[in-house]
Structure 1
Amino acid sequence: MNQTPSAPTASTHGAVLHDEVRPAWSAEVVSWLLGSPLSGQRLAVLDLGAGTGLGTRTIATLGHAVTAVDTSTNMLSVLQTSCQELPSEVANRITALTGSAEYIPLGEQSLDAIICLQAWHWVEPEQATAECDRVLKPNGMMGMAWHTWDRTNEWVQALAAIVEPNGTPTDQTLSVPEELAGRGTFERKEYPLNYELTVDQLVQLASSWSYVAKRPDRNVVLTKIRSLGEQAASPHTGLVRFPHITAAFRLKQPGQPVVG
């Protein structure tokens, strides 16, 4: 792994927790976001808002050179540590750079594809779109995705009743972000994700959600979530099944062949 010489700030506890309890990104989803490249085709990819590199590692494992960009040195330090456990040929495809969607530290038209996973809602859209246009090659691929709860599942509905006292929030994954509309043909695809975790991991995950962390009754909420998890945990594995749907978008620009 290549990394810019910037030291991580104070504590990486929150970043480590993020990496341990958030769901990963499958090769199937990532390959589709990249435009379903042919076997053996190697792309230069940006993982924008990469965090701890849950998607970065998948991109590199697929054989592509990937630059992970994030504002948090804590997050990138966790990615660096995780790369020590990867095969060297995979880790060597990963470069981590401190930056943002509004300032991408890469040259003009240097990328075949940009992926933004669970992060576009944090950006300043006009500046971010302009930066993506700058670094992406003509006819390059733009993909973004979010892991969302499968709200058709009764257990998920019970969880939502605990953490969403004001009702279900607006689903941002039903349409492409407004600033990207009109740039080509956006395709949308959903993938089921049966995420499994321990009861302790479920509670840790819930504690990392900002809308839970900020509640004055946070501890009461987490106790209720633990109880819900204990009721649902498999007696054989101790794991709780937390059904998700991965909502994915990719931009097919005019004249750009996309298969799959």
Structure 2
Amino acid sequence: MNQMHSAPTVSGHNAVLHDAVRPQWSAEVISWLLGSPLLGQRLEVLDLGVGTGLGTRSIATLGHSVTAVDTDNDMLSVLRKVSEELSHGGVGLITAANGSAESIPLEDESVDAITCLQAWHWMDAERATFECDRVLRQDGMMAMGWHTWDRTSEWVNGLAAIIEPDGPPDDQTRSVPREFAGRGIFERKDFAFNYELSVDQLVKLASSWAFVAQRSDQNAVLAKVCRLGDQLESSDGLVRFPHITAAFRLQLPSKDLVG
């Protein structure tokens, strides 16, 4: 029989919690987002709205230099600390900078690629698009991605019934612009994966979601999530949370070929 867990009382979410429980970004997904660069090809990448840099670290581990931009200094402080502990392949390749997609702290045409993971729906699309277009080099890659729940899964729907009493939230992937500065159409690819975590981690993950943290009955909701996790826990002590990473990329043509 699986061990029963008790749901902790959690107040809000913070940078350390976010970093500990949110899913990582695989090398496969990141490589595709960057345009599947050749082995040994090193890119200058801008990562926007990075939070604690879960995607940033994957970019650096692949050997690319990356400027990580966010407005939250607490999130960036976690990234800076963790960056010091990266494997040798990613050491020294990350620069964390305070800024936003609407005001990017980089020079014109200074990066080969831009990634924006779990964040574009928070941006002012018109201003952010202008800024991204400004800092991208010719033939640069613009990429966005979201980890989404696999709602074909019965247990995901059971989780949704607990924490989404008013139905699912808006589809964040709809914020992807069909055209980028009038210069192209995004290509989409979905990557399925199971996010493996313990029951305690599942509860902490749920507590990190703003739509749970802001509820007046948060502790009761987390107790239900805990019971669901107990039911689904495998013999190895893990719950497998079905996800789909929705990935989008657009290679922009040379600016002198436009218009």
Fold match by TM threshold 0.5 = yes
Match of 2:134 in 1: 134
Match of 2:238 in 1: 239
The aligned amino acid for 2:241 is: F
CA shift, 1:176, in A, is 2.9
> Which SS does the other structure have where 1:39 is aligned?
coil
Is residue 111–residue 136 contact of structure 2 (8 Å, CA) maintained in 1? yes
> Which SS does the other structure have where 2:195 is aligned?
strand
Quickly say closer, same or farther: Cα 1:71–1:175, change in 2 above 3 A: closer
Aligned partners of 2:176, 2:124: CA distance in 1, in Å?
15
Is residue 125–residue 179 contact of structure 1 (8 Å, CA) maintained in 2? no
Whether 2:54 is the aligned partner of 1:54: answer: yes
The aligned amino acid for 1:204 is: K
Quickly say closer, same or farther: Cα 1:192–1:223, change in 2 above 3 A: same
Aligned identity (percent) is 68
After the TM superposition, which residues 164-183 of structure 1 pair with which residues of structure 2 at under 5 Å, given as runs? 164-173=164-173, 176-177=176-177, 180=180, 182-183=182-183
Match of 1:195 in 2: 195
Q: Deviations along 1:166-201, whole A, 9 cap, x unmatched?
A: 112232325733573743131000001110111111
Aligned partners of 2:188, 2:225: CA distance in 1, in Å?
32
Match of 2:28 in 1: 28
**Structure 1: runs of 5 or more not aligned:** 1-12
Q: Deviations along 1:189-242, whole A, 9 cap, x unmatched?
A: 00011101111111111111111111121111111000001111112x211111
Cα-Cα RMSD: 1.7
After the TM superposition, which residues 140-159 of structure 1 pair with which residues of structure 2 at under 5 Å, given as runs? 140-159=140-159
> Which SS does the other structure have where 1:47 is aligned?
strand
Match of 2:217 in 1: 217
> Which SS does the other structure have where 2:173 is aligned?
coil
**Structure 2: runs of 5 or more not aligned:** 1-12
> Which SS does the other structure have where 1:91 is aligned?
coil
* Count of equivalent residues: 243
Quickly say closer, same or farther: Cα 1:88–1:39, change in 2 above 3 A: closer
Is residue 192–residue 245 contact of structure 1 (8 Å, CA) maintained in 2? yes
- Comparing 246-255 with 198-207, which one deviates more in the overlay? 246-255
The aligned amino acid for 2:63 is: G
Greater length-normalized contact order (CA 8 Å, ≥ 6 residues apart): 2
Aligned partners of 1:72, 1:172: CA distance in 2, in Å?
21
Quickly say closer, same or farther: Cα 1:181–1:134, change in 2 above 3 A: closer
CA shift, 1:14, in A, is 1.0
The aligned amino acid for 1:41 is: Q
Match of 1:116 in 2: 116
Aligned partners of 2:250, 2:161: CA distance in 1, in Å?
35
Aligned partners of 1:31, 1:232: CA distance in 2, in Å?
32
Aligned partners of 2:37, 2:63: CA distance in 1, in Å?
11
Match of 1:14 in 2: 14
TM-score, reference length from structure 1: 0.89
Structure 1 residue runs of 4 or more that deviate by more than 3 Å after TM superposition: 178-182
Is residue 120–residue 144 contact of structure 2 (8 Å, CA) maintained in 1? yes
The aligned amino acid for 1:163 is: I
Match of 2:7 in 1: none
Aligned partners of 1:200, 1:181: CA distance in 2, in Å?
44
Is residue 187–residue 252 contact of structure 1 (8 Å, CA) maintained in 2? no
Match of 1:64 in 2: 64
CA shift, 1:44, in A, is 0.3
Aligned partners of 1:137, 1:61: CA distance in 2, in Å?
22
Is residue 129–residue 180 contact of structure 2 (8 Å, CA) maintained in 1? yes
